[in-house]
Chains A and B, each alone.
Chain A
Amino acid sequence: MGPDVGTAPRAAASPGADSRSALRRLAGTRETSVIGALVVAVLAASLLVEGFASGRNAGFLILDIATIALIALPMTLIVITGEIDLSVASTLGLTSAVMGQLWVMGLPLETIVPLCVLLGVVLGAVNGLLVTVAGLPSLAVTIGTMAMYRGLAYVVLGDRAVADFPFEWTGGATARIPGTDLPWVVLLIAVLGGVFGVVLHATPVGRSLFAIGSNDEATRFSGISVAWTKLWLFVASGAVAGLAGVFWTLQYGSARADNAFGLELSVVAAVLLGGVSIFGGKGALPGVLAGVLLLGVIRNALSLADVSSDVLSIVTGVLLVVSVVLPTTITRLRERRPRAAPS
């Protein structure tokens, strides 16, 4: 032990010291608290904000968060393995720019859309290869590709905007499912959410993601191909970001190089708010979807209540900080208590 008696034992506090505390369970289930917060927010908004509790508004709310929800799905899996992908918004931007350019060149959208998703796959694979084959930290790699993909988007489209997509497509992107107020994209989110959720929570591959996030090296020695798994996750992330690029372009009817600028931080914020640990190894998809929805509900309710959108930034920030500080503090207080008594 070092001379700094005050701090050393805290680090050494044994994890198995007490497992009885209810506080521990409270701290352990971050996603339950997020879902709880979501329920409270929805109830509060329905009671207090006029116009919130309507199907029409729910449709708008979902369109508003659709892109973040889509990209958050693969991001959850990536963060659980202890990696991160900051290039998603730039992938979206580049896809959007290429979509615009191909449309200007006269290709039919039926051809363009698969090409765009394919482009996302390639961009994701570049990230994945740099992380796995070259062994570079994903945080640095994706900051690099974030700049590079966004730069290429400007190279492709410059500061032009392509906005003459046919109405069947742009209108179709925001059209509602017949008989309901919900947009079609809900189905896309549900299907992809189902796929990623099942993979993460109900397959051996999903279990291995948690293992990789907890201890990369040990997982490798236990015979799981860590590199291969991570590569696929980055490819999935690129593909979904490419798809989101197509959706974004059609939803707003405009292909621009700066589309979704800065969205990566919103996605990461939503994922972390949803209870995924930035160190990997912990997290659940329902929590993340609740996190995305929570941010959407708050933003929607605030704008309906005519509160300026600046407050949303503060709320997002406070939620994020509180959601990590609170459980950590509870855990630490709990750890210190038994130490003070008998030992």
Chain B
Amino acid sequence: MSTTRNPRTPDAPSAVPQARGGGDTRAGRRVRQVRELGILLALVLLIAVTTAVNPGFLAAQSVRDLLLGATLLTILAVGQSLVLITRNVDLSVGSVMGLSAFAVGTLFVAFPGLPAPVVALAGVAVGTVCGVVNGVLVAAARVPALVVTLGTLYMFRGIDFWWASGRQINAADMPDGFLGLGRVTLLGVPLPAVVALLVVLAAGWYLRNYRSGRELYAVGSEPQAARLSGIPVDRRVFVPFVVNGALAGLAGVLYAARFGTLDATVGTGMELEVVAAAVVGGVAIFGGSGTVYGAALGALLLSTIDAALPMLRVDSFWQQAVVGLLILVSIGLDRLLAVRTARRLRGGGSRGA
């Protein structure tokens, strides 16, 4: 649907619009840094307190478990952030992850000899296709992402159920080499966590240094203005959905490798947890601001809360309530920082919009 007049290369000689995303002005950047430092501080504090109460928390094994646990959420939160920054949302990620995980399991059952990397690629491909579906519907048909992805949430989940038709795939159906992925370590860090780190760094680098990355912020800040300044808005909206789908596919692969037991309910309800991680990490729900580093820290913080509460002998029933409170505090804090920045930029004007 979108016309392809602009060359894809980042150094296209058309009028270069100044992307005015949240992170670009100096005051804005400082806000982001304060924001991310805040989460980091909360994280360090939580770890310190938990370790003081229960020194076992920082034992190598429990740290490895924590990192493995945070991996899925981090990868999903990075993808979701790319979408959120363009003022869209992808609610279908939980279903996409489930579909990809089940596809991985099914492939192993159907073709026992298949090498694990091929199967992993197939899982990512399943996610990518789902991402393309979302992207086409949102960008080409120009319908609100919330509605479309709520629809595809049901569709992908339905396809998953239909395909699984009550079957369950167990660890015994998958090769040991694949299931052992989580035990492979690189300098003591589990391989999936390394993958997640690479995803975070790559996405962060792209958003910071590429013209098309900066344009995502411009699109999210003011789509109409971005369009008028020559940014191919449809394409900038489309690509994050595809990347997010691919990352959800990757998360599905890692889920299959980690848990081994797969049915059609994998990833149910995950979408809101992912959005929560991004929001806690300072990615604005209405676009135009936030970084993937923040989102990754948000995911890490939520996972750490999960792991720390039992260690602190807090009833694990409190976990969700604490997470909810944290989300509210985060968005409250963002609002406060935004109002202050706006006031400073206006030189004392009092209208906080």
> Bound pair: A and B?
yes
Q: List residues of A whose CB falls within 8 A of some B CB.
A: 1-8, 11, 86, 130, 134-137, 139-141, 143-152, 154-155, 158-159, 261-262, 265, 268-269, 272, 278-279, 308, 310-321, 324-325, 328-329, 332
Query: Are A144 and B229 touching (Cβ within 8 A)?
Result: no
Q: Which 3 A-B pairs have the closest CB atoms?
A: A148-B324, A6-B3, A151-B321
Chain A hits for B112, CB < 8 A = none
Query: Are B317 and A155 touching (Cβ within 8 A)?
Result: yes
Query: Are A140 and B279 touching (Cβ within 8 A)?
Result: yes
Q: A144-B324, A148-B321, A151-B319 are in contact. Are A313 and B161 (CB under 8 A)?
A: yes
Q: What's the minimum C-beta distance from A80 to chain B, rounded to whole angstroms?
A: 15
User: Per-residue 0/1 for B313-327: is the Cβ within 8 Å of any A Cβ (1 yes, 0 no)?
Assistant: 001011111111101
Among B147, B228, B231, the residue within 8 A (CB) of A278 is B147
B260-283: which residues lie under 8 A (CB-CB) from chain A?
264, 268-269, 272, 275-276, 279
Q: Roughly how many angstroms separate A145 CA and B165 CA in the complex, as a whole number?
A: 34
Query: Are A149 and B331 touching (Cβ within 8 A)?
Result: no
Q: What's the minimum C-beta distance from B108 to chain A, rounded to whole angstroms?
A: 22
Known: A7-B227, A7-B232, A154-B317. 18 other contacts (CB 8 A): A4-B232, A140-B331, A143-B327, A144-B327, A148-B328, A150-B320, A151-B317, A151-B318, A151-B322, A154-B320, A155-B318, A159-B317, A310-B165, A311-B158, A314-B155, A316-B154, A328-B142, A329-B141
Q: What's the minimum C-beta distance from B288 to chain A, rounded to whole angstroms?
A: 13
A and B contact pairs by CB, cutoff 8 A, 5 listed: A141-B328, A145-B328, A151-B320, A279-B144, A310-B158
Query: Are B150 and A139 touching (Cβ within 8 A)?
Result: no
Chain A hits for B141, CB < 8 A = 325, 328-329
Q: A4-B227, A151-B317, A324-B144 are in contact. Are A308 and B165 (CB under 8 A)?
A: yes
Q: Is B167 in the interface zone, CB < 8 Å from A?
A: no
B307-353: which residues lie under 8 A (CB-CB) from chain A?
315, 317-325, 327-328, 331-332, 335, 352
Query: Are A143 and B2 touching (Cβ within 8 A)?
Result: no
Chain B hits for A318, CB < 8 A = 151, 155
User: Per-residue 0/1 for B8-44: is the Cβ within 8 Å of any A Cβ (1 yes, 0 no)?
Assistant: 0000001100000000000000000000000000000
Chain A hits for B170, CB < 8 A = none
Q: A321-B155, A324-B144 are in contact. Are A137 and B286 (CB under 8 A)?
A: yes
Query: Are A7 and B234 touching (Cβ within 8 A)?
Result: yes
Query: Are B158 and A314 touching (Cβ within 8 A)?
Result: yes
Query: Are A2 and B230 touching (Cβ within 8 A)?
Result: yes
Among B150, B229, B325, the residue within 8 A (CB) of A269 is B150
Q: A143-B276, A272-B147 are in contact. Are A313 and B154 (CB under 8 A)?
A: yes
Q: Roughly how many angstroms separate A7 CA and B2 CA in the complex, as a whole number?
A: 7
Among A3, A147, A319, A328, the residue within 8 A (CB) of B14 is A3
Query: Are A324 and B143 touching (Cβ within 8 A)?
Result: yes
Q: What's the minimum C-beta distance from A230 to chain B, rounded to whole angstroms?
A: 16
Among A1, A7, A136, A321, the residue within 8 A (CB) of B137 is A321
Q: What's the minimum C-beta distance from B177 to chain A, rounded to whole angstroms?
A: 32
Query: Are A325 and B286 touching (Cβ within 8 A)?
Result: no
What is the chain B residue whose CB lies nearest that of A144?
B327
Chain A hits for B327, CB < 8 A = 140, 143-144, 147-148
Chain A hits for B286, CB < 8 A = 137, 139
Q: Is B214 in the interface zone, CB < 8 Å from A?
A: no
Q: What's the minimum C-beta distance from A327 to chain B, rounded to whole angstroms?
A: 9
What is the chain A residue whose CB lies nearest that of B162?
A310
Chain B hits for A308, CB < 8 A = 161-162, 165
Q: Roughly how many angstroms separate A137 CA and B286 CA in the complex, as a whole number?
A: 8
Chain A hits for B228, CB < 8 A = 1-2, 8
Chain B hits for A315, CB < 8 A = 158
Q: Roughly how many angstroms separate A143 CA and B332 CA in the complex, as a whole number?
A: 13
Q: Is B233 in the interface zone, CB < 8 Å from A?
A: yes
Chain B hits for A317, CB < 8 A = 151-158
What is the chain A residue whose CB lies nearest that of B324?
A148
Query: Are B3 and A4 touching (Cβ within 8 A)?
Result: yes
Q: Roughly how many angstroms separate A144 CA and B323 CA in the complex, as a whole number?
A: 8
Chain B hits for A321, CB < 8 A = 137, 147-148, 151-152, 155
Q: Roughly how many angstroms separate A14 CA and B28 CA in the complex, as a whole number?
A: 36
Q: A269-B150, A311-B162 are in contact. Are A152 and B272 (CB under 8 A)?
A: no
Q: Roughly how many angstroms separate A136 CA and B279 CA in the complex, as a whole number?
A: 12
Q: A7-B233, A151-B322, A317-B158 are in contact. Are A146 and B142 (CB under 8 A)?
A: no
Q: Roughly how many angstroms separate A38 CA and B110 CA in the complex, as a whole number?
A: 42
Q: A147-B323, A148-B328, A151-B318 are in contact. Are A4 and B5 (CB under 8 A)?
A: yes
Q: Is B224 in the interface zone, CB < 8 Å from A?
A: yes
Chain B hits for A139, CB < 8 A = 285-286
Q: A4-B231, A148-B325, A317-B154 are in contact. Are A143 and B275 (CB under 8 A)?
A: yes
Q: What's the minimum C-beta distance from B148 to chain A, rounded to whole angstroms?
A: 6
What is the chain B residue whose CB lies nearest that of A154?
B317
Query: Are A140 and B285 touching (Cβ within 8 A)?
Result: yes
Query: Are A3 and B331 touching (Cβ within 8 A)?
Result: no
